[in-house]
Amino acid sequence: MDFEAAVRTRRTHKAYGPDPVDRETLAELLELARWAPNHNLTNPWRFRVLGPRALARLKEAAGPDGAGKLDRAPTLVAVSTVRDPDDVTFEEDLLATGCAAYLVLLGAHDRGLAGYWRTPGVLRTREGQDAVEIGEDEHPVGLLYLGAPRQEQRVPERAPVADVTTWLD
């Protein structure tokens, strides 16, 4: 798949087959993520691939109302960024981590996998962060849901460039 096609056709999926993404493929996707742009090469992103016990802890922290959505995909990856005490560096690192997470999703799409980026409320709680071992020195960014797609996703049009761009003189 060429780059432009990958960008234009990658979509959020919420229906997955039952098989988890294999460790080798996950390693390839996380390898892509480390090439995200980041100021001063801080490499601020942290990824945690959730196994059955970690997922059970996260579900317990989410409670009955939030646990169901954690079962959507067979593979979940918790994404966080290191908290830098300097506000400017932290902001740059947070955005770099978002780019790294997107590279995982784009790489998954290129491999025929489906993906979904969500930041559930449980990750905004200390109990949820503890469940996936995100320390107080990190800021949670989200969960990446990954797996084989069960259905095709439609590709809706986006806002035209003219609606979101101002050309300054």
Q: What is the per-residue pLDDT for 7?
A: 85
- Which of 120, 20, 9 has the alpha carbon at shortest distance from 75? 20
Q: What is the pLDDT of residues 34-89, one digit of tens each?
A: 999 998 999 999 999 999 999 999 999 999 988 989 999 999 999 999 999 999 99
Residue 67 located in a structural domain = yes
Q: Which domain CATH number covers 103?
A: 3.40.109.10
Residue 26 has pLDDT above 80, yes or no: yes
Report if residue 165 sits inside a domain: no
Amino acid 151: pLDDT: 77
Residue of 122 and 155 predicted with greater confidence: 122
Q: What is the pLDDT of residues 150-162, one digit of tens each?
A: 877 677 788 988 9
Q: State yes or no: pLDDT of 107 exceeds 90.
A: yes
Nearest Cα neighbor of 120 from 164, 54, 67 is 67
Within-domain flag for 40: yes
Residue 158 lies in a domain: no
Q: Does a structural domain hold residue 166? A: no
Inside any domain, residue 168? no
Burial (CB count within 10 angstroms: exposed 0-12, middle 13-18, buried 19+), residue 133: middle
* Domain range for 101: 3-151
**Helix, strand, coil distribution of the chain in percent, nearest 5:** 45, 20, 35
Q: Give alpha helix (H) positions in 68-117.
A: 87-110
Neighbour-count burial for 17-31, b at 16+ CB within 10 Å, e otherwise: eeebbeeebbeebbe
Exposure letters 78-106 (e unless 16+ CB within 10 A, then b): bbbbbebeeeebbebbbbbbbebbbbbbb
Q: How many domains does the chain have?
A: 1
Q: Is the pLDDT of residue 165 over 90?
A: yes
pLDDT higher at 65 or 101: 101
Query: Sorting pLDDT into bands at 50, 70 and 90, what band is 138?
Result: very high
In a domain, 39, yes or no: yes
* CA contacts within 13 A on the Cβ side of 95: 8
Does residue 146 lie within any of the structural domains?
Answer: yes
